[in-house]
Every structure is written in C-alpha cells, then in structure tokens.
Amino acid sequence: MGIIENMRLDGKKGFVTGAARGIGKCTATAFAEAGADVAIVDLDIETAKKTAAEIAEKTGRKVIAVQCDCTNEEQVNQMVATVVKELGGLNFCHNNAGICINAPAEEMTYAQWLKVININLNGIFLTDIAAGKYMLANGGGSIINTASMSAHIVNVPQPQCAYNASKAGVIQLTKSLAIEWAKRGVRVNCISPGYIGTDLTLSSPSLIPLIEKWNAMAPMGRLGKPEELESICVYLAGDTSSFTTGTDVVVDGAFTCF
C-alpha cells in the first residue's frame, strides 16, 4: 500500500472530547473523512448532537454524540463503554477538552486554579486511563492529547499560570504513559497548538485586542486555523505512526522558536 492508503482510518473507531465545536470538531471531522467511525464527546450534548449529525451527513460514517463530564471518573468510564458498545470498539481517541482562565496569580482563587487543573490535566488523565485500559486489553491503540505551546512558553500579555501549568502536565503525562505502555501496543502522543482562531475565539470582543498583539508577535503574523491540526491528528491516530509515541508535536507557526 502507498502512503496515502496507509493514512486512511477505514474500520477504526474513536472518540474526541470537547468535540462539539472548535479544534475537537475539526479533528473529529478529519477522522471521519479518513474513514473512521467517531463519537463526539462533550458536556454540551445538544451542540454535540448537531455536530455529529453534520459530520455523519458530510462523510457517511457512523457518528454519535455522547455527553460526558471528563472530570467525573464514573462518567468517563461509562462514556468509553458507550463508545465501545455503539461503535463496536475503540482504536484511537483525541482527548481535547480544556479551558483557560486568565487571572493574575495573586488574584486567582484556589477554586479557579482547581477548575483549570481538573479539566485540563485530571480530565486528560481520566480519559487516557479509561481508553488505555480498553486498548491494553484489546490489541492496542493510539491516544492523542491536546497540550499547548503554553507548556513551552509563558504567554503574554494575558496572565494564565494555571493553564500553562496544566498543559505542561499534559506533556509529562503523555510521555509517562508512552513509556509505560510502549511494549503493550498503546501509543500516547500529544499536540501543542499555538494560538488557533476558532469561531469562539474570533467572535469574542474581549479577545480582539489580544489577537492583535499575538499576531504582531507571531513569525507568520496570524493565528493558526483549526483545520491546520487535522492532518497531524489523522497521522497519529493511524498505523502510519506505529513508531511514534511519547512525542509532543508543536504546531504554532514558529511562535515558540524565540
């Protein structure tokens, strides 16, 4: 088979968290376009259902919506069980759900800190472990986590210490699981996007001044597009990346190069 055929995900089953919109919606669409059946996992079940229907109509694949709070262990375990039952297995997942709270460190409440860490890091841990347990017992698979360039740099001018710390934790969690599971058929990688112009980001008036500053600092002079993360995620989900594990792929338009 040629390289294009090897990039296909025909017959594979997977889920994407935080997939109702934004980056997660784009990667879920890409997985389905590559031939996979996909679960749209999100706390916002109504938007998730609309997204699932849209992707199914566009691609002809089986696409379902599953509601899940990724910080709730019982819900995460039930979500994985539902995906396996409804799709017929689990070969890959993209754990993408996350939030950011911008607040000066001395003003950030402990509750705000915990909320960010809980969703961005603990939620990734729970989904990684639930998916990993199934994959370890059923022939292996590929796990993709969303970290951030914020794990590598301290963003300015916005204060976001909790977000930065959580994403650095995602990278180390990814590498740790990759080592533990390397000989057992489960690969674990992460992507570190730079500033990405999602519909939500671009429509938020409070972010316009920040976007102008980010673009002024960016080597390419612009935000990334969610679609510019699709091909790397399809690669990591499939068999072509069989020797790729423990890797953090930075997709930031060279923002972290200086």
Model pLDDT, residue 1? 54
At 99, which CATH number? 3.40.50.720
Model pLDDT, residue 86? 98
Cα–Cα distances in angstroms (integers) from residue 90 to residues 93, 139, 206, in the given order: 8, 10, 39
Residue 130 counted as domain residue:
yes
Residue 255 counted as domain residue:
no
Model pLDDT, residue 207? 83
Q: Quote the number of domains for the chain.
A: 1
Which three-class secondary structure state does DSSP give residue 15? Answer: strand
* Tokens 């379902």, residue located: 64
Asked if 101 contacts 116 with a C-beta cutoff of 8 angstroms, the reply is: yes
134 is catalytic: no
Please list, in sequence order, all residues whose beta carbon lies within 8 angstroms of the beta carbon of residue 225, skipping any fewer than 6 positions away: 196, 197
Residue 177 counted as domain residue:
yes
Burial 130-156 (b: 16+ CB within 10 A, else e): bbbebbeeeeebbbbbbbbbbbbeebe
* Tokens 């909790």, residue located: 162
148 is catalytic: yes
Residue 215 counted as domain residue:
yes
Give me 250's structure tokens.
């930075």
Residue 256 counted as domain residue:
no
Residue 206 counted as domain residue:
yes
Give me 6's structure tokens.
């090897």
Model pLDDT, residue 4? 66
- CA dist 14 and 37 (Å) reads 6
Domain boundaries, position 164: 3-250
Residue 258 counted as domain residue:
no
- Global pTM reads 0.96
Please list, in sequence order, all residues whose beta carbon lies within 8 angstroms of the beta carbon of residue 134, skipping any fewer than 6 positions away: 80, 84, 90, 141
133 is catalytic: no
* Catalytic member of 167, 192, 195, 241: 167
* Catalytic member of 134, 142, 150, 163: 163
- CA dist 114 and 111 (Å) reads 5
- Reading the chain (258 residues) residue by residue, the pLDDT tens digits are 556 667 899 999 999 999 999 999 999 999 999 999 999 999 999 999 999 999 999 999 999 999 999 999 999 999 999 999 999 999 999 999 999 999 999 999 999 999 999 999 999 999 999 999 999 999 999 999 999 999 999 999 999 999 999 999 999 999 999 999 999 999 999 999 999 998 777 877 878 889 999 999 999 999 999 999 999 999 999 999 999 999 999 999 999 998
Q: Which amino acid type is present at position 255?
A: F
